[in-house]
Every structure is written in C-alpha cells, then in structure tokens.
Structure 1
Amino acid sequence: MERIMLCDTTLRDGEQAPGVALGFREKEMIARALADAGIDELEVGVPAVGESEIKTISRLAALHLPVRLITWNRAVLTDLQASYRTGVEGVAISIPASEQQIRNKLRKDRAWVLEQMGQCILNARKEVDYIVLGLEDASRADFIFLAEILAEAERLGVKRVRFADTVGILEPLKVFFTLQDLVRMSGIPLEFHAHNDLGMAVANSLAAVQAGFKAVSVTVGGLGERAGNAPLEEVAVALRYALSEEIDIDLKCLNTIASLVSLATGRPIPRAKPIIGQDVFTHTSSIHIDGLKKDFHNYQTFPPETVGRQHTTSFGKYSGRKSILRLLKTKGIELDQETIDKLLAKILRRACEIKRVLREDDIMEIVVSSC
C-alpha cells in the first residue's frame, strides 16, 4: 500500500499563530523531534521575512536532518532568491487560485497568475531539487482554472501541488466528491492543506485522502492562524486507525512532541484535546471503568499504548460503588456496607464542591476522616 505523506508546517504556518515566536533553539528542538519521529517533510519558514529568518533557516538546513526541508514563498522572484540562500532542498511557491484573491488581493487576472507562476517555477528548477506549488484559497477557486493550473504545473515539472482550504470553508462530503475529479486529472501528487475555522480540518484532511490525495499538511497541536490547522497527532492516528493508511511517523513520539511545542509556544494543551490531552484516556464513570476491566475494547477507540499513553481512572460525580471498592481493595482496606454507603455519599458531595475529579489521595483523606 502506498503510504500517505505528512508534511509538517509548525515552523511556518504554526508560527503564524497570534503571539507565537520561536527562537532558533526552539525550532531546532522541534525540527529534530519531528525528524526523529519520521515526519516526511518540514516547512521551516519564510525567508522573505528578512535576514534573521534566512539565518535561522540556514542553520536548520546545516543540521542535515533526515527529512526534506522546504520554505514558503510568494510567487515572487525576490522571495525565491532569499530561499536559495538558505540551502534548503525545496521551495513551496504559493499563488492565489480564487477569483476573490486574484482580483481583490493581487488586483490581477488569471493570465498574470499563470505567467508569474511559470516564471517562478522555471527559476526555482535551476536552484532546488523539489518544488511544491501551493494553491491559496483553492477551495473557492473555479474548477476549470484549477485544472488549467494543474496541467501547467505538471508540464513545468512541479513535484507536488498543495490544495489549500485557506479560510476553512469546506466540509468532508464536498471535499470527497469534488476533489476526486482533481485527482483523476492530475499526473502529480496532491496535498491537502486544511484550516480549522469550522472545526473540520481533520475530517476534511481524511476526506481528501479518501479522494486520492497523497499528502496532508499538518501542524503540532493544530497550531496556526485563527482557529489553526489540521493537528498532526489527530491526522496521524486517524489515518492509521480510521482509514488503515500507511504512515511513517512513530505515533509514540506524538505526546512528547506536543509537550515540546506547548512549552516553546506558551500554549497549554487542553485537557480534552484528542490524543495529547491529559484526560483523553481517563475514565471516571463507574460503568466505563467496569467495562474496561472486563474488556478494553468496550470503551477503547485504539490502544493508548500505541501513542505512549495508558488508561487511567479518576473519581467524580459518576463514580460508583465498584470504583471505590476497587481502590480500597488495592489499599488493603475492608469496610462494612453502611460505612461504604456513607463514604460514597461524601465522595460524590466533595467532587461536586470542588468541581474536578478526585485523586487517590483525595479519596484516602475522606476515608481516613470517616473511619
């Protein structure tokens, strides 16, 4: 089975998130962690930002990590010339594809876009080995124009075309049924770049893969502008367990990478964040806990060990008698039925008062004070 490429843009699109600014050491640690985990490609910045960015990217390129490094560029020759100075293996050349952006952002027409695109691609072919053509706002572009761009990109020797849902307007059914036609007419691999404005970045990315796309753009934790991008950890696990797709990344590294990015950006990981959140493998309901004890598959989407985690239990409003008895048994404590009933009532009352799950030491404090 042909594997799906995961193309990480945490160090470019992720760093465009409000308030995020990464120094070289932080970028190096993130890049090394992603490369060690087996990511296919890293988009590491925008050299046109200035000399400081060029220097940072050059230092990343000098590390010779076992992963392809590319930079992001407008379809402007000066942007590309700045990229060539960094020593990266490839460049992404981005062009607006929708009439909205061509006319109302560039103040140009389609003919100008195709001409500028062609000049930049031909120029880049002299300097780098790998060229990605990014179609900005492709989700609102005219299908006939997209087909024209694809044909020209293939003729000019582009290695991959990135279809960007720049404003996050798509939904999975439209992605699946519409983009199949793009796949059929394209002689080069297509990449889907999702934004999460409507909360559908992961679903849209999977739908694109089901439609035939061979690459998905991701960021760690979904970091990115506005509502962010498709999260690496969610896409990777969903590809493996929902679609049974082949990917190279080591899933056990995802939590470590997410923690690293969280520390570097100062953005805490939400407790219920899929895959990497503190609570996503924690069970409080006595019904769930009892079901897990009988067979993990009763309440298990996939084995948490595959992402370096494990099932845990906690005590809250919906924790029942079995949960308490199980804890007491592990502590070698035996109580009569009346005491158990009183203890359970106190535990439930305490959980409601403090509005959080109770830890084992919280439970044992109640036990000691009740006996």
Structure 2
Amino acid sequence: MAKDIEILKNENMNIADKIYIFDTTLRDGEQTPGVALTVDEKIQIARKLNNLGVDKIEVGFPASSKGELESAKKIRAEDLDSTLVGLSRSLSSDIDAVLDADLGYIHTFIGTSPLHRDYKLKKSKEEIIQSAVESVEYAKDHGLTVEFSAEDATRTEKDYLFEVFSEVVDAGADFLDVPDTVGVLTPIFTHELITDIKNNFKTPISVHFHNDFGLATANTLTAIECGADQAHVTVNGLGERTGNCSLEEIVMTLKSVYGVDLGIDTTRLYSLSQLVGRLTGVKMPVNKPIVGDNAFAHESGIHVHGILNNSFTYEPMSPEMVGHSRRIVLGKHTGANALKSKLKEYHIELDEEQFCKVFDEIKSLGDSGRCVTDDDLIAIAITELSSARETPIVIKGLSISMGANVSPTATVKLEIDGVEKETASTGVGPIDASLTAIRELIQDTMEIELEEYNLAAINGGTDALAEVFVITSDPDGNQSTGRSTNQDIVMASILAILDSINKLLLIKRSI
C-alpha cells in the first residue's frame, strides 16, 4: 500500500505506539433506535469482532436487565481472545453486575457537565467526584481493570474535568475516557482538548465520539494524532441518534492513510458490516465509506478506463483489502472500455457493429434515467448476438388503443422489402392484436405460426427491461427463434416476433 498511497505522517503528530480498538456495537450500537439484538445475535457479532481482531468488545450493560446480564455471561463463556467489557454507572450495584457476569474489565461513567449535574443527576461537583472515586476504588478492590468515562466531557468545564480525572487516576483508573456525548466537538477543539489531557495525565486516553454533526471519525482521528491511545467505535457507525465513530472508517483510515498497523484482519470488514446490517435491520446507505454498495462502484468512462489500468487511479484502497468487490456500473456515463470489460467478464464476444448497437442501447437506457444492471447488459448483448443480420421486414410504427369493455386495437406499420404497409387489428390483448396485424401485413410474403412465447422481467420494478423469446414456424416446417429486450412489453414482443420472421424469410429465400 505504501507504494500506492503517500502515508500521511509528520513530526507534529503524537500517534501512540499502540492504538486500541474498543468496539461498543453490542452496547452503544444496540442503543440505535429500533434495534434489539437477541443473545444468539450478540454472540454471532462478538465472534465476528473477535475474529476481526478488535482489542476490546463492550458486551453490554449487565445491570440494566436480566437479559443483558445473561447475554454478557454467555458471551463470556465463548472464551474469546478480545477483552470483554461491561458498562456500569458509578454505583456499586452496577459494578456487582459486571462482576457477576465474570468480566474482568469495567467501563464506568458518571455525568460531569453542568447539564448532567443539574438536570439529570442533581448532584454537586463534590458529590460527582465522590461517586466517581468510590466506584473506581470499589472496582479496583474487586480486581477489575477500570476505564472511567466523564460523560458529556466535551461540555464540562475544563478545570473541573481535569479535577475529576485527577481524582479517579489517584483512585486507580487504568483508562480515562473522553466522551463527546452529543457530538459537538470539531477537529480544532479536539486537538486542543486531547493535547491538554495528554500533557497533564500519564494514564492512557480513550475517546468515545458521537456523530451528530458528521464529525465522529474526523474528531477521533484528530484525537489519535494528538496521542489518544484508544478509540471507541461501532460497526457501521451505529449508536444513539446519528451513531458513533465507525469501526471500518477508523480502521481503514489508520491503515491506508496513516500507515498504522492495528493487527486487524481488514478483509473481514465487509462481511461483518453485512452481518450487523442484517441482524439490526439498519441498511447502510449505498455511499457509506468502505462498506457501502457504491464504495468501489464506477460508472464514469474516464474513471473506469483509469481503474482498468491501475485501480489506485480512482480508488484509495483495493476492495479486496476489506473483503468487498469492485463493480462497474453501466449507464449514460459508461465508456467503451467499461462495456468491453463487462462483456469480457461474461465471455460475450461481439463484432464491431454489434458492439456499437449494444453500446448505443446502454447509453439510451442511461439517458432515460435507468441504471443498467449486469443482467440487463447480458440480455441486450444476447439479443444482439441472436438477431437476424438482415431485416427484410422492419417496424415503422405502432399504436395501441384500449378502453373499458373494448377489445384492444393495434395499428402496425411495417416496411417489407422497402414498401410500407399499415393495418389495424383487434385481439384479446395488445400483443395478440399486434400479432394479428403483422400476420395480415405479411400474408402476401409468408405465413407464420407462433409456436412459443416467453416473457420475463429482467429485474424488479415497473421500468424493468422486458425480455421476450419466441419460436415461429412456416407451413414448410421451418422454425426460428426470435429475441428482444425493451422497456415496453408490447414493443419487445413485436421485435422478437419480427426477428424470428426475418430469420424464417431468409431461410425461405436461401432454398
């Protein structure tokens, strides 16, 4: 990677030798509105996180319910390599629940900002410090590794925040966590705050940043640049309100942009994201960095031409690095190189004339507002491959009229060997009416019977391409296939029938 991306490091950064990834998907991630995970689902996610190689997994809030306690116990029984963490308030009863779950690491918190002191806890500054210190001491006395969070730290007076941190450090806290509880930090203030904390405390610093203004990842990276030792993250950025700092964004930015080795198996990121998305029911936007459907998708002809020569021209990392895959999307911006690459992928060989017709069809569909799928392309290309190379009969016009309790009428204009003919016919439906009109127009040239008719919508949606396959025959027993794809079912049917008729006519004239 270092040969393809210029690693961003300079002497002003104070990046720690070891950066810990603390995943809180099973705790803060589950607090995403509308999300509730079963014990088995939590175990599946915990296993995936463990196999990914995260340092710490916050398994839940054991004191909050019997279910949470049992869930924590069952995850503990998995004997995972990652350190398992339990959340607790600064209450001995909460700490006892973490101990009951047989967890060795506790994340204990208490609100420190004026808002939390006055409106939630209704406690004085002195009472807050006393609760914080007593909880840390109690946890340490019971052999736990303690991470202390000053909830709403970024809206707490700095001198008071430092006083709280100083007291809990003296009480034995192993990590000091700085939560940006409502996501109000910006990178410049993050830099100032984390730098000041690092200059005043030797205890490792952890950061837990929320994404209310879309700055959680940027603020977390800034904190790491300033010496933060640990980042709290969630898979897919799940969490309260707009979520937390995204696991995949932090891991890949540190790896690809900063050149930091976290010991994470990044090839498992996409499958982890997919699992969490399915279990929580929270689907990622297509433009979600790293794991979104469009993270490695390209349509622009210029971009596709670049990545076909060297993927790093328009990708900062390879999709294989995260277990994802590259997609070349077809549409109005598609270039010839992209189309040729797609056709090669499906082993479809077209001559120059056929290629140009397929290319024009793709562009036309793109201009109509459609995103052309691979299935669309395959159908269009196969239609072109199987179409008659000579077309003595060509459709020049089609009009369908229908009404309640009235048989549909099809008015069809054909050019037959250079001569235009037009007629109108009725039928049980617009396709049947059109076929009747075609039979009438070509009766002086040949007779045909429709032996087989198959219609398929290539993809879902009311604008899906219709693919029609037919077999027609003549009185001499000759049979021929016809195929067409079109957004209009009636037109697709007529074109397929005419394709088959033209082939029969060429057979007849060659005898």
Shared fold per TM-score greater than 0.5: yes
Greater share of residues in strand: 2
Partner of 1:159: 174
1:3-14 alignment to 2 at 5 Å? 3-14=18-29
Residue type of the partner of 1:158? A
SS in 1 for 2:349: coil
Q: When the two structures are aligned, how many residues end up with a matched partner?
A: 368
User: What corresponds to 1:334 in structure 2?
Assistant: 351
Are the counterparts in 2 of residues 91 and 128 from structure 1 also a CA contact under 8 Å? no
Report the aligned-residue RMSD: 1.7
Q: Which position in structure 2 is the counterpart of 1:75? A: 90
Partner of 1:365: 379
Q: Is the 8 A contact 2:304 2:335 kept in 1?
A: no
| Gap regions ≥5 residues in structure 2 | 1-15, 388-511
Deviation at 1:369, TM superposition (A): 4.0
The one-letter code sitting in structure 2 at the alignment partner of 1:112 is E
1:109 corresponds, among 109, 124, 128, to 124
Label 1:239 to 1:328 Cα distance change in 2 as closer, same or farther (>3 A).
closer
- Aligned residue for 1:242? 257
Match of 2:242 in 1: 227
Deviations 1:274-306 (A, max 9, x none): 111122111111100111122222112012221
Name which of 302, 316, 332 aligns with 1:287.
302
Deviation, structure 1 residue 5: 0.4
C-alpha distance in structure 2 between counterparts of 1:364 and 1:32, whole Å: 39
Q: Is the 8 A contact 1:284 1:319 kept in 2?
A: yes
**Offset at residue 163 of structure 1 (A):** 0.4
Contact residue 2 and residue 246 of structure 1 kept, 8 A: no
Distance of 1:243 and 1:321 partners within structure 2: 36
For residue 368 of structure 2, give the secondary structure of its aligned residue in structure 1. helix
1:111-150 map, 5 Å: 111-150=126-165
**Per-residue displacement from partner, 1:8-32 (whole Å, max 9, x unpaired)?**
0011001111111111111111111
Encode CA deviations 1:100-124: one digit per residue, 9 max, x unaligned.
Answer: 2111211111111111111111111
What is the Cα deviation at residue 153 of structure 1?
2.0
Instruction: Give yes or no for contact 1:237–1:251 (8 Å, CA) kept in 2.
Output: yes
Answering whether residue 79 of structure 2 is matched by residue 36 of structure 1, we say no
1:138–1:164 contact (8 Å) kept in structure 2: yes
**SS of residue matched to 2:106:** strand
TM-score when normalising by structure 1: 0.94
Name the aligned partner's letter for residue 38 of structure 2.
G
Partners of 1:148 and 1:46 lie apart in 2 by 27
**Residues 202-351 of structure 1: matches in 2 within 5 Å?**
202-328=217-343, 330-336=347-353, 340-351=355-366
CA distance in 1, matches of 2:276, 2:176: 28
What CA distance in whole angstroms lies between the structure 1 residues aligned with 2:257 and 2:279?
30
Deviation at 1:309, TM superposition (A): 2.6
- SS in structure 2 at match of 1:57: helix
Q: CA deviation at 1:367?
A: 3.3
Partner of 1:25: 40
Q: CA deviation at 1:2?
A: 1.3
Q: Which has the higher contact order (CA 8 A, sep 6+)?
A: 1
Instruction: Note if contact 2:248-2:290 (Cα within 8 Å) is conserved in structure 1.
Output: yes
* Separation in structure 2 between the aligned mates of residue 177 and residue 221 of structure 1, nearest angstrom: 28
Q: CA deviation at 1:173?
A: 1.7
Q: Using the TM superposition, name which of 118-127 and 9-18 deviates more.
A: 118-127
Determine if the alignment matches structure 1 residue 65 to structure 2 residue 80. Answer: yes
Post-superposition offset of 1:360: 2.8
Deviation at 1:328, TM superposition (A): 4.4
TM-score normalised over the length of structure 2: 0.69
Structure 1 unaligned residues grouped into runs of 5+: none
What is the one-letter code of the residue matched to 2:352? L
The residue that corresponds to 2:13 in the other structure is none
Aligned residues of 2:87 and 2:107 also touching (Cα < 8 A): yes
Task: Indicate yes or no: 2:197 matched with 1:182.
Answer: yes
In the alignment, structure 1 residue 173 sits paired with structure 2 residue 188: yes
* Amino acid in structure 1 at the alignment position of 2:297: T
Query: Between Structure 1 and Structure 2, which shows a larger proportion of helix residues?
Result: 1
